[in-house]
């Protein structure tokens, strides 16, 4: 999505750089609009380098008006954020004054507006400011409350610009579609892992990533905040909040474990290698005798580790694992669910030509605590929808904190 980030002249202007970066990390494009006083706190060049776009600093900049993108910005943006918003810009937009690019953009756009006020405590409490904020709120403008703490002017109180992460989260909540998974943080792993033997060779598998991508995409469509941790794939990942690329099982382990605590759901659709070379040769291994022996070591079992942690703490995300089997599919997957302490295991018979790795379709059996449901062969998108239906049900049954683990 395209977001205009209005920056006004407050000491918190430097934090707006982090807001721009946070929005970009979540896949948005940002165009920075700076008031002239903002440029006295942070240089336009900083925003230009970060956003990779021309920064709009003046309504009447010679040359800029021939630039269609610049003129069209009011109708092309999906969201206007003003962070930090001084008492001055709040007063201007509340009263329809449009004497610079940013205040004019506010009048011209029909995109939703998010304002992060930042000013001295006394100013924030002043009736003039309160009234302007009320006027804007009544018009549908949303706010990220300023934080309390030491202000640049020496006061301790409310007025400091909210933290960039909170501003980014508020923007995401406004942009995210309504959906049953709205507000839920879901981590999905997808694709194979490549375990390097030497600088040119690796052990890998045939997973295309499509099943995990279909789940990530369907979860995003249902409004979830999706983090996708993907191994090396040739298929492009879908647009979700965050895509983290990894190569080997060890790297995937770190990427998942460092994020799992913040998640309500973790779905391990990746085909993680169970063994990796015990040591990676620093140089290409030369050809030798007729046979060659590789020494492998077990990789960390990510799902089992998450399951263990949840059993130990009694709390954690809902866990979904996959089980690719060629025989005794349901029995083995049922045992796997218990061993790894997962809520659901999605089992597929990878010996079938129309299911599992590398194809667009799948046929699975979903194994839960209370039963087994077999889904006939169908597109991976529809399988993803069925898995998420089951998850939504589990989330709605969970007590207060989603992901609470019932040890029974
Ligand atoms: O034990 P098995 O490899 O069959 O288990 C498959 C499930 O466990 C999948 O969900 C897979 O993503 C996950 N797994 C893992 N870490 C590993 C191996 C598998 O999380 N090292």
Q: What is residue 241's predicted lDDT score, i.e. its pLDDT?
A: 85
Same domain, 160 and 193: no
d(CA 318, CA 343): 6
Mutating to test ligand 1, I would choose from 246, 252, 302 the residue with most ligand atoms within 8 A of its C-beta, which is 302
Identify whether the C-beta of residue 182 lies closer than 8 Å to the C-beta of residue 150: no
> Using a 6 Å cutoff on CB, does residue 270 contact ligand 1?
yes
Of 43, 45, 113, 122, which is closest to residue 83 (Cα–Cα)?
113
- Taking the centre of ligand 1 as the mean of its atom positions, its distance from the CA of residue 186, in whole angstroms, is 18
Average pLDDT over residues 129-141: 92
Residues 72 and 137 in one domain: yes
| Least reliable range by pLDDT among 126-130, 239-243, 395-399 | 395-399
Give the tens place of pLDDT for each residue, 359-404.
Answer: 778 889 999 998 899 988 888 888 999 999 999 999 988 754 444 4
CA angle 175, 179, 181 (to 5 degrees): 100
DSSP letters spanning 314-352: S---EEEEEEEESSSHHHHHHHHHHHHT-SEEEEEETTS
- Between residues 141 and 402, which one has the greater pLDDT? 141
Ligand 1: which atom is nearest the Cα of residue 340?
Answer: 8
Q: Residue 408 pLDDT more than 50? A: no
Q: Which residue, 284, 341, 296, is CA-closest to 315?
A: 341
On whether both 324 and 380 belong to a single domain, the answer is: yes
The whole-number average pLDDT for the span 231-249 is 93
Contact criterion met (CB below 8 Å) for 252 and 207: no
Examine the domain organization and report whether 170 and 191 are in the same domain: no
Nearest alpha-carbon partner for 185 in 238, 259, 79 = 259
User: pLDDT higher for 370 or 231?
Assistant: 231
Q: Of 175, 208, 226, which one is at a domain's C-terminal end?
A: 175
Which of 204, 268, 309, 387 to mutate for ligand 1's pocket (most ligand atoms within 8 Å of CB)? 268
Going by DSSP bridges, is the β-strand pair 156-160/147-150 parallel, antiparallel, or unpaired? antiparallel
- Whether 272 is in the pocket of ligand 1, judged by its Cβ within 6 Å, is yes
Which residue puts its alpha carbon closest to atom 6 of ligand 1?
323
Band of pLDDT at residue 247, cut at 50, 70 and 90: very high
| pLDDT for 246 | 98
Number of domains within the chain: 2
CATH number of 28's domain? 3.40.50.1950
pLDDT tens for residues 150-204? 556 555 667 789 999 999 989 988 887 677 898 899 999 999 999 999 999 999 9
CA 239 to CA 306: how far, in whole Å?
26
For residue 47, is it within any domain? yes
Residues 260 and 115 grouped into a single domain: no
Name the active-site residue from 107, 153, 278, 372. 153
Gap between the Cα atoms of 34 and 8, Å rounded: 6
CA neighbor of 379 nearest in space, from 403, 350, 354, 400:
354
357 is catalytic: no
Cα–Cα distance between 219 and 303 in angstroms, integer?
20
Q: Is 195 in the pocket of ligand 1 (CB under 6 A)?
A: no
Average pLDDT over residues 330-350: 94
What is residue 352's predicted lDDT score, i.e. its pLDDT?
74
pLDDT value of residue 177? 64
Is residue 85 in some structural domain?
yes
Any ligand 1 atom below 6 A from CB of 323: yes
Above pLDDT 90, what percent of the chain? 70
Q: Which domain holds residue 338?
A: 185-397
Lowest mean pLDDT among 74-78, 144-148, 327-331: 144-148
List the CATH number of the domain containing 330.
3.40.50.10300
**Cβ of 302 below 6 Å from ligand 1:** yes
**Cα–Cα dist 405/42, whole Å:** 48
> Residue whose CA is closest, atom 21 of ligand 1?
301
Q: What would the pLDDT profile of 64-102 be if each residue is shown by its tens digit?
A: 555 555 567 888 888 999 999 999 999 999 999 999 999
Asked if residues 212 and 185 have their Cβ atoms less than 8 Å apart, the reply is: no
Q: How many CB atoms neighbour CB 165 within 10 A?
A: 11
**Taking residues 269-281, what's their average pLDDT?**
97
Q: How far apart (Å, rounded) are the C-alpha atoms in residues 115 and 253?
A: 38
Q: Is the CB of 274 under 6 A from ligand 1?
A: yes
pLDDT digits (tens, 9 = 90+) for 18-37: 999 999 998 889 999 999 99
**Greater confidence, 335 or 404?**
335
């Amino acid at each position: 999505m395209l977001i205009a980030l209005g920056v006004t002249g407050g000491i918190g202007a430097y934090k707006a750089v982090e807001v721009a970066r946070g929005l970009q990390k979540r896949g948005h494009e940002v165009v920075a609009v700076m008031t002239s006083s903002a440029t006295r706190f942070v240089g336009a060049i900083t925003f230009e380098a970060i956003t990779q776009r021309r920064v709009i600093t003046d309504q009447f900049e010679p040359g800029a008006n021939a630039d269609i993108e610049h003129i069209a910005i009011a109708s092309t943006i999906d969201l206007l954020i003003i962070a930090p918003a001084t008492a001055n810009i709040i007063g201007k937009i509340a009263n329809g004054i449009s004497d610079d690019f940013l205040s004019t953009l506010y009048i011209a756009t029909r995109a939703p507006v998010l304002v992060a006020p930042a000013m001295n405590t006394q100013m924030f409490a002043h009736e003039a400011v309160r009234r302007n904020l009320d006027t804007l709120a009544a018009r549908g403008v949303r706010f990220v409350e300023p934080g309390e703490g030491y202000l640049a002017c020496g006061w301790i109180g409310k007025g400091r610009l909210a933290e960039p992460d909170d501003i980014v989260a508020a923007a995401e909540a406004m942009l995210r579609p309504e959906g049953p998974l709205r507000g839920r943080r879901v981590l999905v792993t997808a694709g194979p892992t490549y375990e390097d033997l030497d600088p040119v060779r690796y052990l890998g598998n045939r997973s295309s990533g499509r099943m995990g991508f279909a789940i990530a995409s369907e979860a995003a469509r249902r409004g979830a905040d999706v983090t996708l941790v993907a191994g090396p794939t040739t298929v492009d990942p879908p647009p979700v909040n965050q895509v983290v690329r990894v190569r080997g099982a060890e790297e995937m382990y770190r990427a998942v474990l460092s994020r799992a605590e913040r998640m309500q759901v973790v779905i391990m659709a990746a085909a993680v290698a169970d063994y990796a070379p015990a040591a990676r040769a620093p140089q290409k291994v030369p050809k030798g005798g007729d046979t060659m022996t590789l020494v492998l070591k077990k990789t960390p079992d990510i799902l089992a580790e998450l399951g263990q942690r949840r059993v130990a703490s009694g709390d954690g995300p809902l866990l979904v694992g996959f089980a690719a089997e060629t025989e005794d599919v349901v029995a083995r997957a049922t045992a796997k669910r218990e061993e790894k302490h997962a809520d659901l295991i999605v089992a597929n018979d990878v010996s079938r030509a129309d299911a599992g790795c590398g194809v667009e379709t799948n046929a699975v059996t979903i194994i839960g605590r209370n039963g087994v449901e077999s889904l006939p062969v169908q597109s991976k998108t529809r399988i993803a929808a069925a898995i998420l239906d089951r998850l939504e049900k589990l989330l709605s049954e969970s007590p207060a904190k989603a992901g609470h683990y019932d040890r029974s």
